């Protein structure tokens, strides 16, 4: 070798020796022929006995196939492997980074010629740690985002409420509010238009919730630090990212944060941290009610849907976030019980009522099992001659401690808890059996009609038609002797209920439209319903002899019903004057305290006997 070549080789060796990257040269069988200090330092933890004679032996646990790959690689310059990662922890080495995490090496192996391999060794521990942190953050953020609406989920909402509670505990003057939102009859959309339409409605609701509290679509920053609030617009980009800081709070909050999230199917929550008192929370709640009550356009159809909102003013005395949410939920239920499409602010008395309702639920279940429910019967009379037309069956509860419980207190509970099907079946069968008993006892003089109310929860039960058939069969009464009553608003509600009415009508039973005049329909729409009888609401009957306006409305109802071949029954008849006026207007039948209050079966039988024609 010439002097110049020798100097160049020496310079190269010096460069390789001092290079800031690990370099190793081996034979094709892995025997190390050159290794610089950086490689020695990085690879030393892999050498069990301190010797580093053969690279393949060092990497046997990580890459047992490396020898075979080296022999198969083309040369010169063929790649044996790229970015071969070796975790020192996997090799039982105790070496790690400054924060205690295991060190990770990356090796790149090239075949220089027929018998030479060149290996570069890098410490990529920091990069690997960062990569793992990013993946963990993405997984964590994705688990905190509702997939359908791209809103924060329950865990984030609870976290934000807890943060607001902590601030309130440190500063009693710091106000926050939680708004609990629930769609009114959301299931109607799922049933009538299908689940896809229901999902689209939820996405649109989410977007309106975000807009109503003036949240910007600031997705990305803030989750890791636990700061900020808000939520991406439904269906927007970055759906799997974190939740960023809140936008302009407007008149809702002062230097506070807002979080809008989804809790359940059609349940949303807004946390207003730093809200300006009860008035600010009420303004936000009304804004939500207004926004969510506007029509939606879904799959080319216009969908009308509303929402009820419960407001809980956060207080530092609250034990935890769940308790604050529960208060807001109770207020929301009060809003629903008041008719929905409105907001209600939580009051402590709501807890007492909720406790009572929960207690009644358990007692009602027991009452159904032990036969504490019984049926009373209110007569229906022919206005023309005062003869008995039939009875309406009404349920009562003989509570062992509270006495007779009004159906106003327990029917709603039965509907909410799914007990209405069992309760309704008991009433239906008892009513049919009693009419059959009267018909057996009095023969041709017996009443020919038994009327039974159906609630919304009953009529959407898929087993209803079969239950009615069973009641008719076991009692033996003719189908035309059974009259099923539904409210006017229920009849107008949706095509599913309309279809169920036609199924019932096909059995041969009578259908009555109850409380007519208080719902959403008009006389012009009566022909659309498969009903036989119109029951005129007591609010019209009570003023028929004192108000010309109400008299005209009743007369119009009777005329239209007659033109469609329907009968009419006036509810709530209390005076002879009212009865006389209804008779003059050609109303067919009357029902009310003028004739009798709802009577237990023995008293109803006595009342009937006193009025039946002599046989």
Structural element, H or E, at residue 405: strand 403-405
Same domain, 182 and 116: no
Domains in the chain: how many in total?
3
Please state, in angstroms and rounded to a whole number, the distance separating the CA atoms of residues 341 and 224.
37
The pLDDT score that the predictor gives to residue 50 is 64
* HSE toward the beta carbon, residue 533, CA cutoff 13 A: 26
Q: Is residue 613 situated within a structural domain?
A: no
CATH of the domain at 594: 3.20.20.450
Same domain, 190 and 263: yes
Of 128, 158, 193, the domain-final residue: 128
Q: Is residue 135 situated within a structural domain?
A: no
pTM above 0.75, yes or no: no
Q: Is residue 175 situated within a structural domain?
A: yes
The pLDDT score that the predictor gives to residue 613 is 83
The pLDDT score that the predictor gives to residue 492 is 58
Q: Is residue 139 situated within a structural domain?
A: no
Please state, in angstroms and rounded to a whole number, the distance separating the CA atoms of residues 455 and 395.
13
Cβ atoms of residues 104 and 90 within 8 Å: no
Same domain, 67 and 170: no
CATH of the domain at 55: 3.30.450.20
Q: Is residue 468 situated within a structural domain?
A: yes
Please state, in angstroms and rounded to a whole number, the distance separating the CA atoms of residues 149 and 270.
14
Same domain, 305 and 443: no
Cβ atoms of residues 451 and 390 within 8 Å: yes
Mean pLDDT in consecutive groups of 10 residues from the start of the chain, 615 residues: 62 68 92 90 81 88 88 90 81 51 86 93 88 72 83 91 91 91 86 87 92 49 33 32 31 57 93 88 93 90 92 86 93 88 93 81 90 95 95 94 85 84 93 97 94 88 93 97 85 72 95 76 74 93 91 93 95 95 96 96 96 79
Same domain, 379 and 474: yes
Residue 513's Cβ-count burial label (10 Å; 0-12, 13-18, 19+) is: buried
CATH of the domain at 166: 3.30.70.270
Same domain, 204 and 90: no
- CB crowding 518-554: b at 16 or more within 10 Å, else e: ebebebeebeebebbbbbbbbebbbbbbeeeebbebb
Cβ atoms of residues 107 and 120 within 8 Å: yes
Is 374 in a helix, a strand, or coil? strand
Same domain, 313 and 379: no
Please state, in angstroms and rounded to a whole number, the distance separating the CA atoms of residues 123 and 103.
7
Same domain, 219 and 342: yes
CB-based contacts of 368-374 (< 8 A; 24+ apart in sequence): 368/419, 368/422, 368/423, 368/426, 372/397, 372/398, 372/399, 372/400, 373/397, 373/398, 373/423, 373/426, 373/427, 374/398, 374/430, 374/600
The pLDDT score that the predictor gives to residue 227 is 33
Please state, in angstroms and rounded to a whole number, the distance separating the CA atoms of residues 165 and 226.
14
Same domain, 111 and 179: no
Q: Is residue 614 situated within a structural domain?
A: no
Same domain, 120 and 215: no
Q: What pairing do the DSSP bridges indicate for beta strands 482-487 and 22-27?
A: unpaired
Going by C-alpha positions, the residue among 144, 270, 151, 283 that lies closest to residue 206 is: 151
Same domain, 120 and 162: no
Is 469 in a helix, a strand, or coil? helix
Cβ atoms of residues 228 and 257 within 8 Å: yes
Cβ atoms of residues 287 and 212 within 8 Å: yes
404 DSSP β-pair partners: 398
Of 298, 316, 347, the domain-final residue: 347
Same domain, 289 and 421: no
Is 359 in a helix, a strand, or coil? helix
CA separation, residue 405 to residues 293, 331, 363, 421, 496 (Å): 36, 25, 11, 19, 32
Q: Is residue 112 situated within a structural domain?
A: yes
Phi then psi for residue 269, to 5 deg, are -135, 140
Angle at 443 between CA 437 and CA 447, to 5 degrees: 70
Q: Which residues constitute the domain of residue 290?
A: 144-347
Of 128, 153, 173, the domain-final residue: 128
Phi then psi for residue 469, to 5 deg, are -60, -45
Q: Is residue 136 situated within a structural domain?
A: no
């Amino acid at each position: 070798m010439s002097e110049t070549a020798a100097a160049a080789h020496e310079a190269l060796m010096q460069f390789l020796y001092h290079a800031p990257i690990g370099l190793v040269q081996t034979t094709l069988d892995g025997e190390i022929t050159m290794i610089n200090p950086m490689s020695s330092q990085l690879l030393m933890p892999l050498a069990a006995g301190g010797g580093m004679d053969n690279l393949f032996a060092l990497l046997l646990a990580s890459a047992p196939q490396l020898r075979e790959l080296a022999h198969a690689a083309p040369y010169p310059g063929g790649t044996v492997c790229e970015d071969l990662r070796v975790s020192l922890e996997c090799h039982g080495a105790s070496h790690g980074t400054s924060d205690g995490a295991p060190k990770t090496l990356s090796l790149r192996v090239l075949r220089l010629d027929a018998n030479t391999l060149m290996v570069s060794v890098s410490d990529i521990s920091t990069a690997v740690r960062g990569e793992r942190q990013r993946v963990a953050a993405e997984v964590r953020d994705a688990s905190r985002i509702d997939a359908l609406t791209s809103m924060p989920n329950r865990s984030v909402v609870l976290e934000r409420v807890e943060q607001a509670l902590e601030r309130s505990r440190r500063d009693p003057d710091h106000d926050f509010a939680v708004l609990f939102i629930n769609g009114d009859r959301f299931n109607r959309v799922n049933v009538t238009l299908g689940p896809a339409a229901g999902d689209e409605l939820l996405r649109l609701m989410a977007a309106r919730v975000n807009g109503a509290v003036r949240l910007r679509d600031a997705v990305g920053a803030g989750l890791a630090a636990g700061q900020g609030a808000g939520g991406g617009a439904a269906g927007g980009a970055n759906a799997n990212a974190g939740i960023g800081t809140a936008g302009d709070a407007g008149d809702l909050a002062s230097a506070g944060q807002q979080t809008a999230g989804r809790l359940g199917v059609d349940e949303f929550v807004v946390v207003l941290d730093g809200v300006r008192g009860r008035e600010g929370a009420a303004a936000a709640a009304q804004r939500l009610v207004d926004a969510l009550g506007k029509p939606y356009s879904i799959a080319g159809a216009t969908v009308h849907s509303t929402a009820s909102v419960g407001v809980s003013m956060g207080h530092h005395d609250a034990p935890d976030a769940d308790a604050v949410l529960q208060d807001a939920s109770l207020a929301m239920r009060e809003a629903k019980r008041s008719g929905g499409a409105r907001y209600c602010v939580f009051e402590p008395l709501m807890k007492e009522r909720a406790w009572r309702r929960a207690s009644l639920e358990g007692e009602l279940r027991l009452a159904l099992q032990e036969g504490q429910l019984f049926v009373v019967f209110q007569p229906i009379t022919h206005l023309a001659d005062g003869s008995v037309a039939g009875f309406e069956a009404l349920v009562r509860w003989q509570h062992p401690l509270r006495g007779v419980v009004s159906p106003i207190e327990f029917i709603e509970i039965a509907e909410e808890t799914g007990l209405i099907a069992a309760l309704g079946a008991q009433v239906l069968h008892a009513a049919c059996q009693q009419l059959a008993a009267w018909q057996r006892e009095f023969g041709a003089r017996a009443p020919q009609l038994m009327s039974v109310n159906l609630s919304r929860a009953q009529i959407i039960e898929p087993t209803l038609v079969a239950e009615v058939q069973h009641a008719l069969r076991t009692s033996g009464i003719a189908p035309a002797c059974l009259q099923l009553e539904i409210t006017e608003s229920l009849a107008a509600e949706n095509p599913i209920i309309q279809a169920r009415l036609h199924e019932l009508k096909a059995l041969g039973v009578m259908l009555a439209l109850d409380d007519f005049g208080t719902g959403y329909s008009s006389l012009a729409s009566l022909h659309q319903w498969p009903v036989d009888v119109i029951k005129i609401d007591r609010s019209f009957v009570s003023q028929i002899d004192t108000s010309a306006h109400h008299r005209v409305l009743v007369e119009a109802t009777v005329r239209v019903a007659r033109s469609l071949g329907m009968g009419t029954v006036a509810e709530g008849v209390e005076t002879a004057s009212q009865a006389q006026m209804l008779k003059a207007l050609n109303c067919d039948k009357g029902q009310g305290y003028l004739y009798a209050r709802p009577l237990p079966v023995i008293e109803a039988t006595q009342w009937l006997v006193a009025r039946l024609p002599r046989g």
